[in-house]
Structure 1
Amino acid sequence: MKTNRRTFLAGISAATALSTNRVAFGEKKYDMGATDTEIRIGHTNPYSGPASSYSTIGKLHQAYWKSVNEAGGINGRKINFISYDDGYQPPKTVEMVRKLVEEDRVLCTFNTLGTPCNTAIHKYMNQKKVPQLYVATGASKWGDPKNFPWTMGFQPDYHTEGIIYAKHMLGNVKDAKIGVLYQNDDYGKDYFNGLKDGLGKEAGRMVKVVTYEVTDPTVDSQIIQLKDSGANVFYNVSIPKFAAQAMRKAADLQWTPAQYMNNVAASVATTMKPAGFENVQGVLTAAWLKDPTDHQWDNEADMKEWRAFMGKNMPDANLSDASYVYAYCVATLMHITLKECGDVLTRENLMKQAANHRQLRLPGLLPGIAVTTSPTDYYPVQAVQLSRFKGETWELFGDVMHNEST
């Protein structure tokens, strides 16, 4: 367990404790991307394109590292955070990441977004032995230290989330007939395979499976097909733009199945409100972060910390967008990881510290959920709690479920 804890950034992470017992000071060691005065971090994000609702993540990261620098940096070093727009296009991600590694000469990349985008750079980053840390995708492939020791995930994996939904469907929907919509790439397939594995011998309950391409204008035709199939359960695996379209179209068709939506689209601001609150009552998802629209957290120290950060650094931001909580949480984890490297800012030591967290509480995590990693465990967050949409916010229910319990 961590001991000798202290606050590391006054006013920004007052609620987040971190250990100092692993920090190695003394002889300085650097790899490319680190010096006595600077740490260069690379990042790609869809500031444009069909997944641009996630641009809020990159914007918060920029504000976060700026605030860190204003407070003195990390162990006296300023963060040079270099973020490029890849438009959620894997070929563009490859181009931008090569630029980050070979021209900008970053120490690592951090929280690069999207399963297809990270898949496109996965082998390259490991061949170059450049840390690809805390990727912004829950695909199960990011937890494979044996074959990809330089890549680590962050959030709960999609496959496990799919299993949880399957078990809830079987236990709570009478004579479940399941219609599935998923994005036709590794992200969507991971969620779909989780559902299929969770259903097991009941997989025949899937009466219709349809997909969409991220370049499609709408998913209206797919929703019509699902309704016509007679499905009374809708498994919605979509990014916010399409998740909102799907639920709105279902309402237009007066199709009222039990609805399960993947967590990556669960933001009130970017999905639920655009879909129309009247159209999303009762939708279920699996949560692991505190939703900023859930008032039960208003007096919690970590959410007060987050709101204070937002008020100071991003005063015009929409505080109902859960992506800001996500980004603040993972940025805090990266901050802690870098701090614990001390003066040994090598890529190898960075991965060593990333793989050595023990029950670390981060701002925004639900009670009962913490970050734990090891050299053989590259899944930092491994628990969720089911949540149901009610009124204009999410309402948690049931117990926190860890991946081993699924």
Structure 2
Amino acid sequence: MHFKKITRRTAIAGAAAAAALAGFSTGALAQKKYDTGATDKTIKIGHIVPYSGPVSAYGTIGKSIVAYFAKVNEEGGINGRKVEVLSLDDAYNPAKTVEVARKLVEQDEIFLLFAPLGTGQNTAIVKYMNAKKVPHLFLATGATRWGDYKNFPWTMGWQPTYQAEGKIYAEHILKNHPNAKIAILYQNDDFGKDNLKGVLDGLGDKVKTMVVSQLSYEVTDPTVDSQLTMLKGTGADVFVNLSTPKFAAMIIKKLPEIGWKPVHYLSSVSQSIQSVLTPAGLDNASGVITSVYLRDPNDPRFKDTKEVADYRAWIQKYYAAGNPGDSLNVIGYSSAQTLHKVLERAGDNLTRANVMKIAAGLDLQLPMLYPGINLKTAADDYYPIERMQPVRFNGKTYEPMGPVLGR
């Protein structure tokens, strides 16, 4: 039997080759990590929005999200993977939201749930999503509770919170109307109370001297005429109107009728020129102050920018039935871009924990965010967008008032 003599040099070379081979195989295995819903070829995303029911107009957000990822897929996907979006209807019914979320997680086996819409709807599923440890990302609701990273580490909001918005109005009032007598009307629900808290917190010690009255209304009230009469009677010269679109239109129309002409701050949920200000009368709405965080595609100041040109080209090709001027489509487009960035950065480490880690470390300048506003998160900051631009309606369009405000 012949034995080959093994020298020290050949032993070292052999060991090095073996180590290199082992390192290669281990590295190859470590390069790609997947949780349920992600593979070499696809990433499966769940989405919930009311395509039917009382607020079915919000369904366009879902259609714009699907259209955005259709563009991404046509261009090669994300790191070579196609994004499959399962966008389902909950009719704005929290009980249905629970049913749909369970289906997406347990039957469809999604990787994450993206941008489900509504405060009550997300409240109904937040504990479930966190118990399942499925990312519940970039929610389409401004409730402040979606930044509670300690109790709900798998849940993150996206848009500015109602409290952040309320603080911005307070900051603007303190700077521009330091001696104001403020009257506040708010909707008696989570939306209205959240917004109200922001205003009162923002005014700080000045609340006692500046706020002369705060009244609420119920969503079932036929009108708010009596509240407006009472608020006018206080002698207030600044009116903070924290109402939803139906009531906002009634209020804007009513104020001239009762001869009350305060400086008028309006909640951003009711800023639509088409659906709120026009029915109320554009002359009546002239001078109304609100706040924005997205570019308006119809704003003459932005119409020739690359950002708006790219947005319009996208919607024309991938969602031709969508209205490019509808801010809801800008929301769908921009929130989808945020998720795109997160998944892109995840690379081949497509675990749910890694996605949440990346989502909690962003600093983005999204194309359709208003100039001067960025999207930023941290492990202890689950509020992506916290800045807004105060704007005033001039009878035709909104004009900026001073600098961008907020954190």
What range describes the TM-score normalised by the shorter chain of this pair?
A: 0.7 to 0.9
Question: TM-score w.r.t. structure 2 length?
Answer: 0.84
1:192 corresponds to 2:196: yes
Q: State the SS of the aligned residue for 2:155.
A: coil
User: Is the Cα–Cα contact under 8 Å of residues 294 and 395 in structure 1 kept in the other structure?
Assistant: no
**In structure 2, C-alpha distance between the alignment counterparts of 1:219 and 1:65, rounded to whole Å:** 43
**In structure 2, C-alpha distance between the alignment counterparts of 1:74 and 1:218, rounded to whole Å:** 50
Pick from 23, 35, 38: which aligns with 1:34?
38
1:276 corresponds to 2:291: no
Pick from 250, 253, 262: which aligns with 2:255?
250
Question: What's 2:322 paired with?
Answer: 317
User: Is the Cα–Cα contact under 8 Å of residues 362 and 375 in structure 2 kept in the other structure?
Assistant: yes
1:374 corresponds to 2:378: yes
Q: 1:25 and 1:247, CA in 2 relative to 1: closer, same or farther beyond 3 A? A: farther
Question: What's 1:125 paired with?
Answer: 129
Pick from 113, 116, 125: which aligns with 2:120?
116
**In structure 1, C-alpha distance between the alignment counterparts of 2:228 and 2:59, rounded to whole Å:** 27
Question: What's 1:11 paired with?
Answer: none
User: Is the Cα–Cα contact under 8 Å of residues 287 and 395 in structure 2 kept in the other structure?
Assistant: no
Question: What's 1:393 paired with?
Answer: 397
Deviations 1:202-231 (A, max 9, x none): 324434433344455655555455445554
Question: What's 2:170 paired with?
Answer: 166
Q: 1:96 and 1:247, CA in 2 relative to 1: closer, same or farther beyond 3 A? A: farther
User: Is the Cα–Cα contact under 8 Å of residues 50 and 214 in structure 1 kept in the other structure?
Assistant: no
User: Is the Cα–Cα contact under 8 Å of residues 361 and 371 in structure 1 kept in the other structure?
Assistant: yes
Deviates most, 372-381 or 197-206: 197-206
Question: What's 1:14 paired with?
Answer: none
User: Is the Cα–Cα contact under 8 Å of residues 116 and 187 in structure 1 kept in the other structure?
Assistant: no
Q: State the SS of the aligned residue for 1:295.
A: coil
Question: What's 1:352 paired with?
Answer: 357
What is the one-letter code of the residue matched to 1:296? R
**In structure 2, C-alpha distance between the alignment counterparts of 1:231 and 1:94, rounded to whole Å:** 44
Question: What's 2:150 paired with?
Answer: 146
Q: State the SS of the aligned residue for 1:291.
A: coil
Deviates most, 144-153 or 269-278: 269-278
Deviations 1:313-333 (A, max 9, x none): 233433332222222111111
More contact order relative to length (CA 8 Å, sep ≥ 6):
1
What 5-or-longer segments of structure 1 have no aligned partner? 1-23
What is the one-letter code of the residue matched to 2:163? H
Question: What's 2:334 paired with?
Answer: 329
User: Is the Cα–Cα contact under 8 Å of residues 181 and 212 in structure 1 kept in the other structure?
Assistant: yes
Pick from 45, 52, 73: which aligns with 2:56?
52
Deviates most, 217-226 or 361-370: 217-226
What is the one-letter code of the residue matched to 1:240? P
Deviations 1:28-69 (A, max 9, x none): 222122222222212222334443343322221122122222
Question: What's 1:240 paired with?
Answer: 245
Name the % identity: 51
Instruction: Point out the structure with max Rg over C-alpha.
Output: 2
User: Is the Cα–Cα contact under 8 Å of residues 269 and 320 in structure 1 kept in the other structure?
Assistant: no
**In structure 2, C-alpha distance between the alignment counterparts of 1:32 and 1:210, rounded to whole Å:** 49
Q: 1:236 and 1:337, CA in 2 relative to 1: closer, same or farther beyond 3 A? A: same
**In structure 2, C-alpha distance between the alignment counterparts of 1:236 and 1:48, rounded to whole Å:** 29
* Alpha-carbon offset, residue 251 of structure 1: 4.2
**In structure 2, C-alpha distance between the alignment counterparts of 1:213 and 1:106, rounded to whole Å:** 38
What is the one-letter code of the residue matched to 1:277? L
Q: 1:339 and 1:214, CA in 2 relative to 1: closer, same or farther beyond 3 A? A: farther
* RMSD of aligned Cα (Å): 2.5
Question: What's 1:262 paired with?
Answer: 267
1:304 corresponds to 2:333: no
Q: State the SS of the aligned residue for 1:62.
A: helix
Question: TM-score w.r.t. structure 1 length?
Answer: 0.85
Pick from 188, 210, 227: which aligns with 2:215?
210
* Alpha-carbon offset, residue 381 of structure 1: 1.7
* Alpha-carbon offset, residue 254 of structure 1: 4.2
1:14-25 matches, within 5 Å, as: none
Deviations 1:350-391 (A, max 9, x none): 111212223x21111122222222222212222222111112
Pick from 36, 55, 72: which aligns with 2:76?
72
**In structure 2, C-alpha distance between the alignment counterparts of 1:168 and 1:362, rounded to whole Å:** 25
* Alpha-carbon offset, residue 273 of structure 1: 2.8
Q: 1:245 and 1:102, CA in 2 relative to 1: closer, same or farther beyond 3 A? A: farther
Pick from 90, 97, 108: which aligns with 1:93?
97
Q: 1:244 and 1:77, CA in 2 relative to 1: closer, same or farther beyond 3 A? A: farther
Deviates most, 29-38 or 392-401: 29-38
User: Is the Cα–Cα contact under 8 Å of residues 389 and 405 in structure 2 kept in the other structure?
Assistant: yes
Instruction: State how many pairs are aligned.
Output: 379
**In structure 1, C-alpha distance between the alignment counterparts of 2:332 and 2:282, rounded to whole Å:** 25
Question: What's 2:294 paired with?
Answer: 289
**In structure 2, C-alpha distance between the alignment counterparts of 1:336 and 1:269, rounded to whole Å:** 32
Deviates most, 67-76 or 292-301: 67-76
* Alpha-carbon offset, residue 195 of structure 1: 0.9
Q: State the SS of the aligned residue for 2:376.
A: coil
Q: 1:326 and 1:105, CA in 2 relative to 1: closer, same or farther beyond 3 A? A: same
